Structures are given as structure tokens and as C-alpha cells.
Amino acid sequence: MLKLMFINLLNPLMTSGVKSALTDDEVISKYLETSDPKYYSILYDRYSTKVFSKCISLLKSESLAEDAAQDIFIKILMNLSKFSGKSKFSTWIYSITYNYCIDMIRRKKKDPSLLVDNIADTHDAVEDVDEKFLLEVNITRLKIILEDIPVADKSILLMKYQDSLSIKEIGEILDKSESAIKMKIKRAKLKFKKSYYLKFKD
């Protein structure tokens, strides 16, 4: 019994850093077939930097991001059998990451804008900001503005322009209709523009 325990505890450590040419879907099916931790390590190696980076970007704290990234990967592992393959595995991972971070912020009430989520869904007239404007901002300024706008707006802009997710995919992640997502993106772009002109009036 003790031998089994040690094998199980040491196996993931021994197989970390494994490189593989298998696609994500193939790695998942192999993991589900065999429960071999080396397949999970492959997925971890592929996505850990991106997930950790997103956690830091949204939570603005390295120690919170460490805890979040660990919980997210455990959540991914526990729910791997529920991954249906309808969307890309990366999209599924991002959905868990964004939702986890948004929930964490909501729990800590760091960002009250996340608590008035439904108010933002009202379809009143909002100025449409050309996305060319967002995509032409230089990286240093982009970083400053993304730190300045509320996390809810930041995360929706990251999903759209950083992860290149479709409106439908963002809707699935946030559990909102496509028209609600379009409105949220519109509002986020407007906040981005306002923040830009406040910070860089020249």
C-alpha cells in the first residue's frame, strides 16, 4: 500500500517536462485511457505559462496568481473527462481561467464593477469605437490602459483581441447571449478610449 502511495506521488514529478508531438485532444484521450500523469504534464507544460500570465494580469498579485493557477490546473484535471471537444482545448482552459479569476475578484470585492454585471447588459446607445484605434496603441501605453480599466472590461478585451475568441465563444465562457457580449465589448472599447485620452491627452 505504501509502495503504491509513493509511486503515485512520485510519478508526476518524474515525468514533468515531457515533450510531445501529440495534439491536445490526443493527449487528453490518452490521459483518460491510462491516467498516466505524464500526459497531464504535457498539458501543464503547454499551458502553464499562459494561464499563470493571465492570472497575474487579472489578479494583479503574484501570490494570488500562484494560488489561482494551482487551483485552475487541479480544476482542469478534475474536469478533463467533461471536456467534450466542441471547442478548442485552449478555449476551454481560458474559460476556466477567466471565470476563476473573475470569481476570485468578485469574492474579494476588489472590483465593484463585477457586481453590477447585469446593469451593463442594458442595450442603450453606446458610441462605437473603431477597433483600429485599440490595435494601433503602442504596447507600453496598452499595458498602462489595461491596468487602468475595470477587470471585467479588461478580460473581455483580452478574450477578443489577445486570445482571438469569437463572440460566440466569449458568450459561452461568460454564459451570456451574443448580443450582450457585443454590447460589453462596445462598452469596454469606450472605457479603453476614455482611459487613453485621460492618460495621454497629447
138 binds other proteins (CB under 8 A): yes
**How many CB atoms within 10 Å of residue 185?**
21
User: Rounded to the nearest whole angstrom, what is the least distance from the CB of residue 142 to other proteins in the complex?
Assistant: 5
74 binds other proteins (CB under 8 A): yes
166 binds other proteins (CB under 8 A): no
Reduce the DSSP state of residue 144 to 3 states and report it: helix
101 binds other proteins (CB under 8 A): no
Determine contact, residues 109/45, Cβ cutoff 8 Å: no
Q: Which is nearer to other proteins, 68 or 174 (CB)?
A: 68
66 binds other proteins (CB under 8 A): yes
User: Rounded to the nearest whole angstrom, what is the least distance from the CB of residue 60 to other proteins in the complex?
Assistant: 13
Residue count, binding to other proteins (CB under 8 A): 42
Q: Could you say which of 30, 50, 110, 182 contacts other proteins (CB under 8 A)?
A: 50
Lookup: cell for 45: 507544460
49 binds other proteins (CB under 8 A): yes
Tell me how far apart the alpha carbons of residues 48 and 58 are, in angstroms, rounded to a whole number.
15
Reduce the DSSP state of residue 5 to 3 states and report it: helix
| Of the candidates 56, 71, 78, the residue with the CA atom closest to the CA atom of residue 147 | 56
